[in-house]
């Protein structure tokens, strides 16, 4: 197995220290969160717990990264 940076390994095992929302809530809030980010507003203050969840959940984090890029472009 590939050997990993110990801090990355510990972060993955221990997750975020701050309270976080669930995957379901993250999905529900993700569009609003991204639009707030793109508008330059404080998305973390407006929707607490999403940022911590994105730190702890790789799948939701990947989807957030994609949505942020895609929503920044006009369709």
Partner 1 sequence: MSTSTVGAVHPQSNAPASASVTPEPLDPDTQTWLDDLRSDGMARDAAIARLHALLLRAARFEVGRRRATLPHLRGNELDDIAMEAADDALMSVLRRLDDFRGRSRFTTWVYKFALLEAAVKLRKRSWQGREIPPEPETWNLFADARLGPQAEVELGELLRGVQNAIAVELTPHQRTVLVSLAIDGVPIDVLADRLGSTRGALYKTLHDARRKLRASLTEHGLGLELERRLEES
For the bound state, the minimum distance from the C-beta of residue 31 to partner 1, rounded and expressed in Å, comes to 4
- Phi/psi for 15 (5° steps) reads 70, -175
Based on the shown chain and the rule CB under 8 A, indicate whether residue 18 belongs to the binding site for partner 1.
yes
Based on the shown chain and the rule CB under 8 A, indicate whether residue 61 belongs to the binding site for partner 1.
no
In the structure encoding, which two tokens stand for residue 21, read together? 């929302």
Plot region of 2 (φ>0 → left; ψ -120 to 50 → alpha; else → beta): beta
Instruction: Please give the Cα distance from 2 to 17 (Å, whole number).
Output: 26
Based on the shown chain and the rule CB under 8 A, indicate whether residue 11 belongs to the binding site for partner 1.
yes
Name the 3-class secondary structure at 52. helix
Based on the shown chain and the rule CB under 8 A, indicate whether residue 45 belongs to the binding site for partner 1.
no
By CB under 8 A, name the binding residues for partner 1.
Answer: 1, 3-7, 9-15, 17-25, 27-32, 34-35, 47-50, 52-53, 56-59, 62-63, 66-67, 69-71, 75
């Amino acid at each position: 197995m590939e050997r990993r940076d110990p801090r990355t390994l510990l972060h993955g095992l221990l997750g975020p220290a701050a309270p976080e929302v669930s995957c379901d809530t993250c999905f529900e809030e993700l569009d609003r969160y991204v639009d707030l980010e793109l508008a330059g507003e404080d998305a973390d203050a407006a929707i607490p717990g999403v940022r911590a969840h994105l730190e702890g959940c790789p799948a939701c984090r990947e989807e957030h990264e994609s949505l942020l890029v895609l929503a920044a472009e006009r369709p």
